Chains A and B, each alone.
Chain A
């Protein structure tokens, strides 16, 4: 069975500092990896997916199949990045997502 691990429950950084949220997965096939974000009082929404290889709101994430990781990074954190972030995995030929436990990010001024 697939599993998604986010080792940090809480992450606190200063504005302008780099931020990295860790995500590791276990799955024997070729997964699709995603980051979803939930800002305060807003609904959960897709932030980015690995296959698009794009930067969203300054965030990037690279799928490392050797290390089975999909860490989310931003070089200069902003206060509006404070949110709950979930890493998620979709197995090939499946519709369901498996989510990690989530990381709460607080960006301090």
Chain B
């Protein structure tokens, strides 16, 4: 059973702070993703990693960076948090083979970040 965990369920930060969101998966998945989930906008991909130390920008990477030093861990970094980054952040992972049943993305429980 795939398990994707996120370090915090709720987080409150101040404008300008550096924020780290951590995600860990235990199924040896190659791919990991960071999304933000906003009402009326759905899920939007921030960054994607297909291997250790490899990353690719998603649709809304501005104001974010990521780090993948180990296969099981994918970190999202807000270099200088702003109020418009208040959102629900979801992490997901999947296998690398884009085939039937192997491309399912497994999601973490989410981190609700509030930036004051």
Contact = CB atoms under 8 A, between A and B. Distances in A.
Contacts of B50: 95
Nearest to B44: A99
A32 B58 contact: no
A9 interface: yes
Interface in A39-68: 43-46, 49, 51-52
Given A46-B104, A46-B105, A102 B42 contact: yes
Given A49-B100, A95-B31, A86 B42 contact: yes
Give the size range of B's interface with the partner. 20 to 34
Given A43-B108, A96-B33, A96-B48, A101 B94 contact: no
Max chain A C-beta neighbours (<10 A), residue from B48, B103, B109: B103
Contacts of A44: 43, 90, 92, 107
Interface string B12-35: 000000000000000000010101
B94 A99 contact: no
Interface of A: 6, 9, 32, 36, 43-46, 49, 51-52, 86, 90, 92-102
Interface of B: 4, 31, 33, 35, 40-45, 48, 50, 58, 90, 92, 94, 96, 98, 100, 103-110
